[in-house]
Structure 1
């Protein structure tokens, strides 16, 4: 599996990690317990079995042109199906355009994972996986569902076979006030 992911600014990353820590301290499921070096807050734009030839460079160019990208986190929710606890990301026109452009590049990719496809994608930052049966109301209160503004500042690709990441773009802070 290969992904295309957007990475949070330092401030937004710290906000999400603080929510992870609060969940863990409350004895609730949390990504704070995932100590793998690749674990960090991110927004997955796409997931496929393999990138088509030349796609990685094209994806890097797309992301480089789009970043930094302002983001607003809305409410904490539990997604149906696989039941992760997530912080929903408000889809902006810029984010939707980048998502669509990424899938244009990946049109010939093998094994597209359907939950990230246009029309099915629910943009979010994961707070906990396998949340089924946990106390949702308490988790929402502990995680803190205040609306948060921030930025996506870099892009990467995760390789599920090797459990490694490749940088698609370097972090770029906002250039203006």
Structure 2
């Protein structure tokens, strides 16, 4: 699987990582424990089995036109009963347009993963995986319901086969 992701500005990344650390210090699940070098705060725009020819270059050009993109992380929530703990993002027209443009670039890609498709996509930055709704109140007390503001400053792709990251801008 190949993803298309936006990465945070240094200040926004530091704020999200601080939330990861506060969750871990409270004994809650957190992405702070994932020490793989590719683990960093991000927003996933799309996931496909593989990119069509020329897609990476087209995505890089697209990101060069629109980034940096301001963002506000809001509404701490668990996406399901035992699923990721996230700060949601209310997409503004710029982010919605970028998301649609990414999907247009990937229109001919093999193996679209539908949870990121237009109409189903729930933009967010993850704080923990396999989180329980029962712990959501404690998480809000530890990190706050609303998250920080900042910007997305670059794009990347993650390849789940070899666990590598390639910049797209």
Residue pair 1:28, 1:134 contacting (<8 A) in 2 also? no
With the length of structure 2 as denominator, give the TM-score of the two structures: 0.96
CA–CA separation in structure 2 for the residues paired with 1:124 and 1:159: 20
Q: SS of the counterpart of 1:40?
A: coil
With the length of structure 1 as denominator, give the TM-score of the two structures: 0.92
Q: SS of the counterpart of 2:130?
A: coil
Give the ranges of 4+ consecutive aligned residues of structure 1 lying more than 6 Å apart after TM superposition.
none
Say how many residue pairs are matched. 169
Partner of 2:111: 111
Tell me the CA shift for residue 83 of structure 1: 1.3
Q: SS of the counterpart of 2:83?
A: coil
Which stretch has the larger CA shift, 134-143 or 158-167?
A: 134-143
Per-residue CA deviation, residues 41-79 of structure 1 (Å, 9 max, x unaligned), is 000000111011111110111111110001111111011
Partner of 2:155: 155
Tell me the CA shift for residue 134 of structure 1: 5.2
CA–CA separation in structure 1 for the residues paired with 2:152 and 2:161: 25
| Alignment partner of 1:97 is 2:134 | no
Per-residue CA deviation, residues 101-139 of structure 1 (Å, 9 max, x unaligned), is 000011111111111000000000000011136511101
Q: For the structure 1 residues 134 and 34, does the alpha-carbon distance in structure 2 shift closer, same or farther, using more than 3 Å as the test?
A: farther
Q: SS of the counterpart of 1:154?
A: strand
Partner of 1:86: 86
Taking the TM superposition and a 5 Å limit, the aligned residue runs for 1:33-112 are 33-80=33-80, 83-112=83-112
| Alignment partner of 1:14 is 2:14 | yes
Tell me the CA shift for residue 80 of structure 1: 1.9
* Unaligned ranges ≥5, structure 2: none
RMSD: 1.2
